[in-house]
Amino acid sequence: MAYDEAKAKLIAFDTARNQELKRLQEENAALRAQLSAQVKETADSLHDDAVKLKEAAVQPADADAVDAKRYRWLKERQAYVAVHPHYKDLPLHQRTGWTIRLVNGDSDSFDAAIDAAIAAQSTEGAKG
């Protein structure tokens, strides 16, 4: 009987070990899937952040280039900026420099006014 008992205990132990091994394998697979999903989510988030940083790095450089062009244009013309609306009505021969009328005084309208003056000068230069 000792042999049969030992054999039964060995079979029971082997069965328990196989069940535990199967449970651990399933748990391992579930953890790998969860980790894989987290890695993908993190990678996607990092990619999105990298794209945003790249776009942010490009935009100021472009904006700086436009601002530099405006500044050079103003400096070359030794222009002054007239914020009073009546300057726009003066004939060209009475103006002592380029006049730019600001619509509402914010920097966007100032930039737009400079751009318009540059465009107008380019158009006048092409005619003359």
Q: How far is it, in rounded angstroms, from Cα 42 to Cα 47?
A: 8
Beta carbons of 113 and 101 less than 8 angstroms apart: yes
Q: What is the pLDDT along the chain (128 residues), one digit of tens a residue?
A: 788 898 999 999 999 999 999 999 999 999 999 999 998 998 888 898 888 888 776 666 677 788 888 777 776 665 445 444 455 666 655 555 555 544 444 556 667 777 787 887 777 666 65
- DSSP states of 39-72: HHHHHHHHHHHHHHHHHHHHHHHHHHHHHHHHHH
**Length of the chain in residues, anyone?**
128
pTM to 2 decimals? 0.36
What is the residue extent of each domain of the chain?
Answer: 1-62, 78-128
Q: What is the pLDDT of residue 103?
A: 42
**Rounded Cα gap, residues 101 and 90, in angstroms:** 12
